[in-house]
């Protein structure tokens, strides 16, 4: 059984995380001839751009759950996550038997329903047992990154996810092909110190965010935030480099 790297993609609806997972999987297969096992854990997904090797929709029927329990879309998804959590032993066994170089895992677009239910920390604990080469990718739409405050919010959200899951988190700005470079603050997103200094001059809330960023910088393993395009594959190699260095503990990303 070969050693495998596990990457979990998390992000809000519309961030393009499913498309990024697909693009990254194709890049890994074509560039390195890696064997990639793709997982969909979103029972509410109506369309995904890749063919999953494991699809939770074959195990959990969210429409039947909605009817059986008299739930709306969000309630049915919450119930689905609880049911998935009860099947955690099955998931562990499934992933242990996977003979691939990479396991890429797609999660529900309603990020909060996944992260703040029991399934997320339980799944992460299982994945850590399956492989020590493990990381979470937090995907954000470039269209929402216009100001220094926006970057601070993303950094804080990424840290909150890391604290909740107890795992290394790589924040990624996706869809840069759809926005002007000035709309994603240029290259300053890779330098927390510059952002923190700019925020310090923006009043009391700016100073608060600046102090938080400086604290994050002290402990962050991945200080760089890659800006990628799942559509054009721009900077996919940079994302891979960060994932590789975090999972093999062989580099300095600061």
Give percent of the chain with pLDDT exceeding 70. Answer: 91
Q: Looking at the domain covering 5-248, what would its CATH class be?
A: alpha beta
Strand partners, 136: 8, 169
Answer whether residue 227 shows pLDDT above 60: yes
Q: What is the mean predicted confidence (pLDDT) over 2-30?
A: 95
pLDDT of res. 169:
92
Q: What is the per-residue pLDDT across 48-75, written as a single tens digit (0 to 9) for each?
A: 999 999 999 999 999 999 999 999 999 9
Answer whether residue 11 shows pLDDT above 90: yes
250 vs 231, higher pLDDT = 231
Q: What is the mean predicted confidence (pLDDT) over 130-142?
A: 94
What is the pTM for the complete model shown? Answer: 0.90
pLDDT of res. 205:
84
Q: What is the per-residue pLDDT across 103-112, written as a single tens digit (0 to 9) for each?
A: 999 999 889 9
Q: How far apart are CA 135 and CA 137, in angstroms?
A: 7
pLDDT of res. 182:
45
Most confident of 20-34, 143-157, 158-172: 20-34
Q: What is the per-residue pLDDT across 23-54, written as a single tens digit (0 to 9) for each?
A: 999 999 999 999 999 999 999 999 999 999 99
**Given pLDDT bands bounded at 50, 70 and 90, which one contains residue 188?**
very low
């Amino acid at each position: 059984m070969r050693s495998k790297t596990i990457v979990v993609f998390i992000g809000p609806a519309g961030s393009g995380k499913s498309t990024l997972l697909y693009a990254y999987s194709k890049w890994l297969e074509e560039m390195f001839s890696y064997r990639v096992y793709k997982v969909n854990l979103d029972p509410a997904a109506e369309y995904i751009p890749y063919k999953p090797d494991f699809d939770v929709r074959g195990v959990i029927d969210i429409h039947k759950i909605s009817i059986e329990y008299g739930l709306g879309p969000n309630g049915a998804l919450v119930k689905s996550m609880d049911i998935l959590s009860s099947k955690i032993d099955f998931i562990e066994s499934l992933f242990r038997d996977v003979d691939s170089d990479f396991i890429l895992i797609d999660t529900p677009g309603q990020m909060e329903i996944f992260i703040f239910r029991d399934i997320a920390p339980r799944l992460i604990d299982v994945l850590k047992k399956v492989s020590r080469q493990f990381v979470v990718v937090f995907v954000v739409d470039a269209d929402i990154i216009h100001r220094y405050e926006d970057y601070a919010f993303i950094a804080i959200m990424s840290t909150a996810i890391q604290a909740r899951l107890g795992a290394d988190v790589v924040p990624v700005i996706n869809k840069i092909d759809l926005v002007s470079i000035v709309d994603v603050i240029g290259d300053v997103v890779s330098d927390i110190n510059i952002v923190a200094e700019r925020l310090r001059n923006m009043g009391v809330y700016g100073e608060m965010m600046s102090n938080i960023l400086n604290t994050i910088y002290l402990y962050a393993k991945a200080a760089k935030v890659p800006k990628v395009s799942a559509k054009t594959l721009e900077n996919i190699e940079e994302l891979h480099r960060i994932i590789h260095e975090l999972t093999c503990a062989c580099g300095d990303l600061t």
